Copies of this chain bind each other. A is one copy, B any other.
Amino acid sequence: MATTTIKAYGVTAATEDLKPLAIQRRAVEADDVKIDITYCGVCHSDIHTARDDWKGSTYPVVPGHEIIGRVTEVGNGVNNYKVGDLVGVGCMVDSCQTCSSCEQDLEQFCEKGATFTYNSPDKHNEGAQTYGGYATSVVVDEKFVLRIPENLDEAATAPLLCAGITTWSPLSHWKVKKGDKVGVIGLGGLGHMGVKFAHALGAHVVMITTSPEKGKDAKRLGADEVLVSKDADDMKKHQGSFDFILNTIPVGHEMDPYLGLLKIDATMVLVGAVEPLKPFHGGGLIGGRKRIAGSLIGGIKETQEMLDFCGKHNITSDIELIDMQDINTAFERVTANDVKYRFVIDMKSLK
C-alpha cells in the first residue's frame, strides 16, 4: 500500500523526551478523509502513554487525540465531508461497527476493541500501530471524523475532542438538567470543561476543590459556588444536597466525603481515576441508594452532539497555545498541574 512520509513528534522509549520523527500515513482509501492538522491538544493520557505508565505502550509512540484540521482529500466513498471542511478527530479512529456496543453508538466500548487514535493495532496496516495527532496530517475513516462548528475559536476546540466529550458524556447520560445541583470535583483540563457544560445546561454548579485559590477562576468559568473540600463545616453544610457529582480527580482518592454530599438516589461519576481508589464505606451507598459510576470518553454520535452544543453555546476550552518544539516542557507542566487548562499545539510550528 502506498504511504506518505510525514513529520511528527513522538518517543521511541518510555524514558525519552519527545523528538521529531518521520512516520507513514496511508493513502486515502474509499471511506477516508485526509486532514491537514492545524491544532492538537495535549491530554494527560498522551503523557501516560508516552511514558508507559499504563503499560502496554508500543514504541514509537506518537501521541495526540484532540485533533483539529482542514480536509485536504476525500475518498470516492466519502459522503459527509469535502475538501476545506473544518473537522476534528478524537480518541478513536475505528471500531467493528457491528457489535452491540457499536450498534448503540458506543464505539468506545466496541466488543472487538476500538482502534484508538494512537498506540492501537492499525487495521489498515497489519503489524503496525496507529499514530496520533502530534503530526502534520492524518488519514481517518469518515465515520470517525467530527464536524467542527466554524464559529468557534479553532485552536480552543481541540480539547473538546477528549476533555470535552469525557465530561459531556456523563452529564448527558445521567440527564443533568436545568436547576440540578451539580458538583464538579477538580479544576483541571476535565474539570474546567465540566463546569462550563454543567453551567450551560442550566445546572447550579458547585466547584468542589481542595484549593480555595481556584475559586475565582471557577466562578469565571461558570461555577455558582465553590466548596472547599478540606473545610469540614462547608462540607457539612452541603451534605445530601447534590443531584450529581462529576469527579475528575485523576488519581486514587477517598470517596466517602463526596458520597456524603449526594442526595438520595444521586450519582457520582468517575472520569479520571483509572487507578485503585481508596476503600470507601458500603454504608455511604446503601444508606441513600446512591451510586458510583464510571464514564469513558463518548461515542462518535454523542461527540458530534457535544460539538454542536458547543457551537450553539459558544463553548471552547481555555487553552495555552504552544509550538510543537515546546512539548517536553508542556508535558512537565501538565504533570505538575501547571496549565490553564489545556495546552494546544499550533501545528504550523511543525510544518
A290 touches B279 (CB 8 A): no
Alpha-carbon distance A277/B290, docked complex (angstroms): 15
**B-chain residues with CB within 8 Å of residue A272 when the two chains form the complex:** 282
B288 touches A291 (CB 8 A): no
**How many chain A residues touch the partner (CB < 8 A)?**
35
A109 touches B289 (CB 8 A): yes
Instruction: State which residues 244-275 of A face B: CB under 8 Å.
Output: 252, 264, 267, 270-275
Residues 85-124 of A, flagged 1 when their CB comes within 8 A of B and 0 if not, give 0000000000000001100001001000000000000000
Partner of A276, one of B274, B282, B294: B282
A279 touches B282 (CB 8 A): no
A288 touches B294 (CB 8 A): yes
Who on chain B is nearest to A283 by CB? Answer: B274
Alpha-carbon distance A283/B101, docked complex (angstroms): 18
In the complex, besides A274-B281, A288-B294, 18 extra interface pairs with C-beta distance below 8 angstroms are A101-B264, A106-B289, A270-B282, A271-B286, A272-B282, A273-B282, A273-B286, A275-B283, A276-B281, A277-B282, A285-B293, A286-B294, A286-B295, A286-B296, A289-B294, A290-B294, A291-B292, A291-B294
Chain A residues within CB distance 8 Å of chain B: 100-101, 106, 109, 173, 252, 264, 267, 270-296
Who on chain B is nearest to A240 by CB? Answer: B111
Alpha-carbon distance A252/B288, docked complex (angstroms): 18
Alpha-carbon distance A282/B254, docked complex (angstroms): 12
Alpha-carbon distance A266/B70, docked complex (angstroms): 39
**B-chain residues with CB within 8 Å of residue A267 when the two chains form the complex:** 291
Partner of A289, one of B173, B274, B290: B173
B281 touches A279 (CB 8 A): no
Most buried by B among A264, A291, A294: A294
Who on chain B is nearest to A101 by CB? Answer: B264
**B-chain residues with CB within 8 Å of residue A285 when the two chains form the complex:** 270, 292-294
